[in-house]
């Protein structure tokens, strides 16, 4: 809006005396962050670069051990196991056009900005798919109302009957998730990924205390997301996009639950009372790999301009299902 003139006074802007200026700097744009795909190991997919689209991973067999009596005979086992196969079988693409009439007269590098945005959108698209798929692939002993390979003592909820997550039970729920991994003999650093809507519940819980977090500074004062019992906490907004961005089909089809109001509702990602998954895992539970396979710039045949397109080939695979546990909750 130009400077206001008094009534009856001419406007130099209208007269063309004062020019307009168009900035050469793009306005800030913020994106959903891809976290899970970056936390999974990639070493197996790295072996596929320029070497095919499938890699077979051997699994160490279990050698039988039993009692033995002096002078007795041994039965020799031939150790064997079923390998795991990884394939690059998923594809995502983007395409846009920039007309010469726009590009030649613009003070901005349009194509570079649009390409950069396309790469970010690929990250979000893949992360959303991966989260929706991987929540369904935890080992049977690491999910449900009777989770726990040894004890069966942990209620992690289900999509149809989620747990109400409150400040008073955050420690119970998170420790149940890690205990499920421990009962499956899973060692190493553990990670949590939970919807952003649950961040406040976690930070207001007992976990905000410095003595619980295991350091001398409260996580609430430091501003950092928590690390408790060898596990760090991460939040994501990609859970909220439960519908396919192009087809509109649900990525988690048919999920309903009874919310705290007693209503049976279908998950849309727009209501905090709908079920939300919390993942607890070690990096080795799965693998992810992707490559920007092709970027092409071609001239428009029947006009003036350039067509830009990109192809991303990617995939993920759960390698050790017992190294992933899942709780279904809603915000209390």
> What is the reported pLDDT for 247?
63
**15 or 324, greater pLDDT:** 324
Q: Please name the residue ranges forming H helices in the chain.
A: 12-15, 36-39, 43-46, 100-105, 110-134, 170-183, 199-203, 210-213, 219-222
For residue 222, the model assigns a pLDDT of 41
Q: Which residues contact 309 (CB under 8 A, 6 or more apart)?
A: 93, 94, 95, 96, 294, 295, 296, 298
Local confidence band at 322 (pLDDT 50, 70, 90 cut-offs)? very high
Higher pLDDT, 218 or 315: 315
The pLDDT tens digits of the residues spanning 62-117 come to: 898 988 889 889 888 898 888 888 788 889 998 999 888 877 777 888 888 999 99
For range 224-234, the mean pLDDT: 72
Q: With CA atoms as reference, report the closest residue to 288 among 90, 91, 59, 45.
A: 45
Tell me, what's the pLDDT at 220? 44
Among 7-16, 19-28, 319-328, name the most confident range.
Answer: 319-328
Q: According to the 3-state scheme, what is the secondary structure of 98-126?
A: EEHHHHHHCCCCHHHHHHHHHHHHHHHHH
Determine the average pLDDT of the residues in 252-262.
58
Q: What is the pLDDT of residue 329?
A: 87
Residue-range domain boundaries for the chain = 26-332
Higher pLDDT, 54 or 279: 279
The residues with which 310 forms a beta bridge, in sequence order, are 94, 295
Q: Dump pLDDT digits (tens) for 162-185.
A: 888 888 999 999 999 999 999 999
Give the lowest-confidence range in 14-18, 190-194, 299-303. Answer: 14-18
pTM of the model: 0.78
**CATH code, residues 26-332:** 3.90.1690
């Amino acid at each position: 809006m130009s400077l206001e003139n008094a009534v009856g006074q001419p406007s130099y802007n209208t007269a063309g005396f004062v020019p307009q200026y168009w900035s050469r700097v793009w306005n800030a744009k913020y994106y959903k962050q891809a976290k899970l795909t970056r936390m999974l190991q990639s070493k197996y997919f790295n072996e596929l670069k320029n070497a095919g689209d499938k890699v077979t991973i051997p699994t160490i067999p279990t050698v039988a051990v039993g009692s033995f009596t002096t002078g007795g005979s041994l039965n020799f086992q031939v150790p064997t196991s079923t390998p795991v196969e990884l394939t690059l079988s998923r594809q995502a693409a983007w395409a846009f056009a920039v007309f010469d009439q726009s590009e030649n007269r613009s003070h901005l590098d349009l194509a570079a900005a649009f390409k950069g945005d396309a790469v970010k959108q690929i990250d979000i698209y893949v992360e959303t798919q991966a989260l929706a798929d991987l929540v369904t692939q935890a080992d049977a002993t690491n999910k449900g109302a009777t989770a726990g390979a040894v004890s069966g003592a942990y209620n992690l909820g289900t999509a149809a009957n989620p747990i109400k997550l409150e400040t008073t039970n955050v420690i119970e729920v998170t420790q149940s998730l890690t205990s499920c991994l421990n009962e499956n003999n899973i060692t190493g650093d553990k990670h949590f990924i939970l919807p952003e809507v649950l961040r406040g519940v976690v930070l207001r819980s007992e976990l905000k205390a410095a003595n619980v977090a295991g350091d001398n500074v409260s996580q609430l004062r430091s501003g950092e997301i928590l690390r408790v019992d060898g596990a760090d906490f991460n939040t994501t907004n990609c859970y909220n996009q439960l519908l396919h961005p192009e087809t509109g089909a649900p990525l988690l089809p048919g999920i309903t639950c009874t919310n705290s109001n007693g209503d049976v509702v279908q998950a849309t990602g727009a209501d905090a009372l709908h079920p939300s998954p919390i993942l607890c895992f070690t990096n080795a539970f799965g693998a992810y790999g992707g490559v920007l396979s092709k970027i092409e710039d071609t001239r428009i045949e029947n006009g003036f301009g350039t067509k830009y397109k990109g192809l991303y080939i990617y995939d993920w695979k759960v390698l050790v299902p017992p190294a992933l546990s899942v709780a279904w909750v809603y915000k209390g």
